[in-house]
Structures are given as structure tokens and as C-alpha cells.
Amino acid sequence: MSTLAYPVSSPSPVWQSIDQLLRDVPGVLDRIRDGRDLATLARAMMITIACGAGVFGAAMGTYRGEVQILYAAVKLPCVLLLTLAVCAPALTALNRAIGRSGCLRRDIALVLSALARSSLVLAAQAPIVLLAVQTGATYHQVVLVVVACCALAGAVGLGFFLRGLRARELGGLWTVAPALFVVFVLVGAQMSWTLRPFLLRPRTPEVPVLRSVEGSFFEAVARSTLSARGIYLRDEAPLPTRSVGER
Amino acid sequence: MKLMDLGLLYGLLGFGCACVMLWRRNDVGGTWLDAVLLAGFWPVYGPFLLAKLQGSDDGPEDSEVAFLAALRRARGTPLAALLPDPQTASALARRLRVASGKVQEIDAILARPEFQAKEAVDRHKDLIDRAASECAVSTAAIRIQNIRRLQALRDRFSRELDEVEELLNQLRTQAEVVRLAGVAGDETRDLVQELVSRVEGLDRMLDDDPHLCGADDSRRVFDEKLARSEGPRGDGWGR
């Protein structure tokens, strides 16, 4: 079992858990597998997600500025945690269904830790988004930067999650992991669609907390695909036409 | 239900959970931060606080986890060649889980008022003293029998699990010795074989249990007595 010795002056168990997540991944996985002090771990991971994803959300919000910084900083952690709230029982059910050991608390702790690690990676990449915004990147360029950052963070989190599943039990790993991945992607996509906007054009006159629910994420993807092929379902775009000198 | 209604319901439930947590703050050991996290994300954080409330959060690791962890530790040593493959290990671990679950299930059943052995014996004596009907006396006797069967079964499972746990502890220490010494001796091979056969034997226990084999006979005797005491009814009741 891999554990780190912490100095006596460590401020709190929450900070110790975050430190452990950064420096001692096998120790975190052992702790989850053995079910040791999971409440403290969960609290620490939720705080990490709130801070890490919040920083990245705030960086996205700077593209529009003003109150959108706050909105995006609050909404991005909510997307991650609410998606987890919907998906974690599915992980336990999947584990149980195929005969693996399934424990709701351990499963939630594992996904929380994976998301917390992703959030830390997101926070580390926030300066890249800020740099893109400050160097005058266009809306679509910033979107691409954000997508690349999220993809990298997601890959790190997925790696952690797979390690956690493998550490607990090998059998059925390649059934549970892809199934949960699909569930998480679908729920996460719809959740982020429901809590949009995160990235707003600077010319947007008013900053909404949430946009009205217009269909689903998947309908929007289908509509965008049609638009890309020159088939438009609307007479005009919802925003005013772009003026000279505007990003 | 619209999204707004769903959000409102979610928020109300979260608020309720936070209020309950603050009300039971001394039992849970929660803070205002816990209340905020619970109010916002009760499906995620709730199970952890609930476990704290039930006192099951920091309990000992269960036998299945201990078994897999012991095998995993031993896998990195020269013992690896003697260990069962991952699929077999998972199947063995499942048997342990079933056995542990059975002990817990039986404990829960035996905790019910109608499964108290002393009360059942007293009731049986009372019926005999009062010269109650044969059917009532034999029913009370069967109840005592069933309680004793459950107790015997629980003891057997528990004993087996204790022995498996001791073997796991031995395997852990043996793995460290082999890791440092570099060679697995005969006694290590025997230890692994014994551990595997013990776990394999757990799911045969139910079939082998002599008490359970007699369960159908008891039921038949009870039915016959009941039919005799009630006389010919012809409606098949009691069969």
C-alpha cells in the first residue's frame, strides 16, 4: 500500500487529500478500495472540482467579461458534479449487473477523484485560454482552445478512472468502462447544454445566466451539421450581423 | 415535469437534506461547508454523510476487497505463478461476498422479534403446559428448529470466513517474505491452495448443511400434523 507521510503541521485532512491526489495516486486508489475515510476524501474532491473547474470557467468567462466570469465559474463545476450525480448510480448498477463488486460510496469516490484530477488539469490550462483571449483570438478559435483543454483534462481523468477500476477488480473492466464512458458523455453533453452559455461573444448585449431550453444537445448537433452543409432551418441567426472591427 | 419543476424539486430535497444534517450535526460531525455541499449536490455527498450517520464509513475492509487486495499484492512477487488467474480470483471473491452477505442477512433475520430463540422456547413450553393442540405445539417446535438452523448456519459461515481471513493475513506476510527472499517454498504453495479451496468450499456449504437438508422433512411432518388435526377438508389447504 502506497501512502505518504504528512507533516504534523498539515492544515486539514481536506488539504491532505488534495495533496495525496496530486502526489500519490496509488494511495488514493488504495484508500477508495479499502473504504477509508471516504467522506473526507469526497469533501476534498468536491472542493477541488469547485475550485479547479471554477478557475477554468472564469477564464472562459473573460472572453465576454463582466458578470459572465462569475456565471461560468459557478456553472462549470455544477456541470461536472450534476453529471456525476446522475451517472454514479449507473456505475454501481453496471458493476453489480456484471458481477463485479459495486459499492455506491466507493464508486462515487472514484469518479469524484477522477473528476477532481481533471479539474486540476483544467485549472492548470486556464492561462492558455486567458492567453488566447488576450491575443485577440476569434470566437471559434477560443472554442477550439477550450475543447482541446477539456479533451486533455478528460483524458487524464479517464486514465485515473480506468486505473481505479482495474485496481479494484479486473473482470468485466472493458464492459463497465466503455458503458459508463458513453453514459457520462451523453449526460454530460446534455447537462452542459442545459447550463449553457459558458463562452459568450463580446458583442452579446446581455449576459443570460441560462439560455432557454431549445431542444437537446443532440438536436443542436444535428442542426449544426445541416447548417454546415448549407441547409438552414432558421431565416436568420439570433445575433445581429457582425460589424467591422468586432471579434 | 418541466426542467424548472425538476430543478425546484432537486433544490427542495437538497435544502431538506442540509436541514436534517444540521439538525443531526453532532451525530454526523458536519460543518456549514458540509451543509452547503449537501444542499447543492445531495446525490453525490449524501451517501457519505449517511454512512457516517450509520457508523459504517470507516469500518473494516470487507472480505472480498481484502481477498483481491491480498492477491494483488502477492502478484508482484515470485508467488505470482502460484496464484489463480484474474477471472478465477474474481469468481472466488464473489463467493466471499455472497458468504459475507449471508452472515449479515442471517444476523438481520435473527434480530427480528419472531426469531428470538428464548422467546420461542418459552412459547413452546407455555403451549405444552397449557395442553394446547398438537398442531400449535409442533408449529412452535418447528419455529425453534428453524431458529437453531439459522444460528448454526451463521456460525458455520462466520467460522469459515474467519479462517479465510486468517489465511489472507498469512498470505500477505508470506508475500512479503517471498518478495524479499525471492523464492516461493512448498509451504507457500500449500497456503495458496488451501486459501483457494476454502473459498471454493464456501458456496458448497449451503448444499452440505445437514440442518438445511432436513428442512423439507420438517415441513412435511408439519403439514401432515396440520392435516390430521383439522380432519378431512378436501381443499388441499396446508399442502
Q: B119 and B29, same structural domain?
A: no
Decide if B69 touches A, using CB distance below 8 A: yes
Grid coordinates belonging to B196: 483457494
Question: How big is chain A, counted in residues?
Answer: 247
Cα(A9)–Cα(A39) distance, rounded to whole angstroms? 22
Q: Which of B61, B89, B91 sits opposite A34 (nearest CB)?
A: B61
CA dihedral A123, A125, A5, B29 (to 10 degrees): 10
Q: B118 and B25, same structural domain?
A: no
Which residues form the domain of A57?
13-199+210-228
Interval A2-18: pLDDT, tens: 444 444 444 577 788 88
Residue A174 located in a structural domain: yes
Cα(B30)–Cα(B46) distance, rounded to whole angstroms? 12
- Segment among A44-53, A56-65, A153-162, B176-185 with least mean pLDDT: B176-185
Interval A119-144: pLDDT, tens: 999 999 999 999 999 998 888 888 88
Q: B182 and B99, same structural domain?
A: yes
- Segment among A18-22, A60-64, A112-116, B220-224 with least mean pLDDT: B220-224
pLDDT at B239: 34
Residue A238 located in a structural domain: no
Residue A157 located in a structural domain: yes
Cα nearest neighbour of A81 on chain B:
B41
Residue B178 located in a structural domain: yes
- The reported pTM is 0.60
Residue B72 located in a structural domain: yes
pLDDT at A244: 40
A104–B87 CB contact, under 8 Å: no
How many domains in chain A? 1
Query: Which H helix or E strand runs over B42?
Result: helix B42-54
Residue A4 located in a structural domain: no
pLDDT at A152: 94
Q: B206 and B89, same structural domain?
A: yes
More confident residue, A107 or B233: A107
B-chain CB neighbours of A89 within 8 Å are 43
Cα(A97)–Cα(A112) distance, rounded to whole angstroms? 22
For the segment A201-226, the average pLDDT, to the nearest whole number, is 77
- Segment among A206-210, A240-244, B60-64 with least mean pLDDT: A240-244
Cα(A42)–Cα(B45) distance, rounded to whole angstroms? 7
Cα(B70)–Cα(B196) distance, rounded to whole angstroms? 12
Residue B82 located in a structural domain: yes
Grid coordinates belonging to B216: 423439507
Q: Is B122 left (phi over 0), alpha (psi -120 to 50) or beta?
A: alpha
Interval B140-167: pLDDT, tens: 888 888 888 888 888 888 888 787 777 7
Q: Which of A32-46, A163-177, A211-225 has the highest mean pLDDT?
A: A32-46
ipTM: 0.74
Which residues form the domain of B31?
3-54
Q: How far is A41 from chain B (nearest CA, A)?
A: 10
Q: B216 and B124, same structural domain?
A: yes
Which residues numbered 76-115 in B keep a CB inside 8 Å of some CB on A?
86-87, 89-91, 93-94, 97
pLDDT at B234: 40
How many domains in chain B? 2
Instruction: Name the one residue in this structure whose C-alpha cell is 425453534.
Output: B144
pLDDT at A54: 94
Q: B134 and B90, same structural domain?
A: yes
Q: B226 and B120, same structural domain?
A: yes
Q: B152 and B34, same structural domain?
A: no
pLDDT at A107 over 50: yes
pLDDT at B117: 83
Q: Which of B99, B161, B57 is nearest to A40 (CA)?
A: B57
Residue A88 located in a structural domain: yes
A33–B69 CB contact, under 8 Å: yes
Mean pLDDT in order along chain B per 10 residues (239 residues): 82 89 77 86 87 60 65 70 71 74 81 84 87 85 88 84 76 72 70 74 60 47 51 40
pLDDT band, very low/low/confident/very high, at A103 (cuts 50, 70, 90): confident
Q: B128 and B107, same structural domain?
A: yes
Q: How far is B110 from chain A (nearest CA, A)?
A: 25
Cα(A180)–Cα(A186) distance, rounded to whole angstroms? 10
Residue A32 located in a structural domain: yes
pLDDT at B97: 73
Neighbouring residues of A129: CB distance < 8 A, sequence distance ≥ 6: A56, A59, A60, A62, A142, A145, A146, A149
A213–B3 CB contact, under 8 Å: yes
